[in-house]
Amino acid sequence: MKKILFVFCPILAFSAELHQVVQSAYRHAWELENAQYLKLNADADYSSKKYAFLPSLNLSANHGFQGGTPSVGSDKTSDYTLEAKANLLSLTQLDDLSVSRAAKELQEKRFDEQKNQFCFEALNVYLNYLLEKKRNHNLNNIENLLEDQFEVTSGEYKQGIKPRKDYLRLRAELKGVQLDQTQQLIVLKNAEDLLRNKIKDDFSRFSYEPSVLTIPELYKNEEDVKLSMKEETLNKELDLLSTKRKKLNHTVWPQLSLGAQYKVSDSDFWKGSAYDPRSNQYWVITLGLTYTLWDWGTERRSRESNVRNTRIRENEVYQEIRTAQMNYDLSNEKIRVARKVYAQRAQVLSDERESYNIISRDYREGKITFLDYVSSLRSYTSAELSVFQALVDLNKAYYESLLQKGQLVSYFQL
């Protein structure tokens, strides 16, 4: 008979493999690349809006021919234009800068939030895989034990030692476990594929043994955070929406701009003639005023529609903030409940282990049937799996708390 071992030994220590898996997934996270590009684009847009207040300077040079009719003897011409432009007063431009600054801060918050969310998703995929592997391991143990016993019982049944009902009951028990094992293999394969896709690295570099999972240690650098990261991000979005509404109110104001142009031309420079700067220079300074006098209400209706759309999004954000506050408040409560459940299930496992040892002794002494022994074994393995499930839930609850506070990236030293 094969030797069956059931080992469950949670250790109050640091789960190194979990950190390594999350770090590996983070290094290969193409999902974060798009978020980073959005952040960089927002930074670039803010810089462009900021430097738009400074004068712009353009230089152009043109060389060609001039004359009444095209010919080889046509006069050659050349001119250089130096143009400077600047906006003296533009509330729209000021609003653009404010909107761009708010959008930049929002994208920074969103990028940090997405990095923390990715870490949480990666560790969840890893924990789910360990759980399915633990479940598969328990089914394997029961299946191996039943196969060995069925081989013995089949021989005894053929010899007339065991009745047919014992043979049929044991065979049905074995077939049921084998069916569960077949279905579990599909679930396990799916969990493995999800983890492979997350890690995007050499999958064999980690052990993925359930025994490596431990109770998470307290985060030494944990701060007393009053707002969740999601709330901070949504508040930044509210700032952006408020700034956009102010901008819409300023679109009806007149816009004032200043332009300057200096031009130098010389039609005879290729002929070697003397250059007369007084007759070949041109300059102009312009002061521009832009204001819409009448457009049949088109601009007004467009502005009102944009204000309403902004209000709609603000109402949605307020609801999202309330949800984020509830999740933040519940995160610590989830840890407390998960710890309590873990302790209770550990006590049940201790009782089931003691009961299993007693029944195993009775079975060896012939006091009970093999199926009674299998029933006790199932109860024991079920309690063992239940404790491991509680350990997984405790890990998830703790890391969800760090996610709410936006501290997962620093916790995993990324």
pLDDT tens digits for range 355-399: 989 988 888 788 888 888 888 888 998 999 999 999 999 999 999
Residue 360 pLDDT: 84
Look-up of token digits 């998960």: 338
- Cβ atoms of 409 and 152 within 8 Å: the answer is no
Query: Distance between CA 361 and CA 377 in Å, rounded?
Result: 13
Residue 2 pLDDT: 42
Residue 4 pLDDT: 42
Q: Does the pTM exceed 0.85?
A: no
For residue 73, pLDDT beyond 60: no
Residue 13 pLDDT: 39
Q: For residue 315, what are the CA distances in angstroms to 9, 109, 206, 234?
A: 50, 20, 46, 11
Q: How confident is the model at residue 288 (pLDDT cuts 50, 70, 90)?
A: confident
* Tens of pLDDT, residues 219-266: 666 667 777 888 888 888 888 888 888 777 766 667 766 666 666 665
- Cβ atoms of 315 and 360 within 8 Å: the answer is no
Residue 278 pLDDT: 54
Q: Where exactly are the structural domains of the chain?
A: 16-63+75-411
How many CA atoms does the CB half-sphere of 406 hold within 13 Å? 18
- The neighbour count for residue 167, using CB atoms within 10 Å, is 16
Task: For residue 350, give both structure tokens.
Answer: 């201790």
Residue 149 pLDDT: 83
* Tens of pLDDT, residues 320-349: 889 888 888 888 899 999 999 999 999 999
* Tens of pLDDT, residues 107-156: 999 899 999 999 999 999 999 999 999 999 999 988 988 888 888 888 88
* Tens of pLDDT, residues 393-405: 999 999 999 999 8
Architecture field, domain 16-63+75-411: Up-down Bundle (1.20)
Torsional sign, CA 181, 182, 183, 189: positive
How many CA atoms does the CB half-sphere of 352 hold within 13 Å? 22
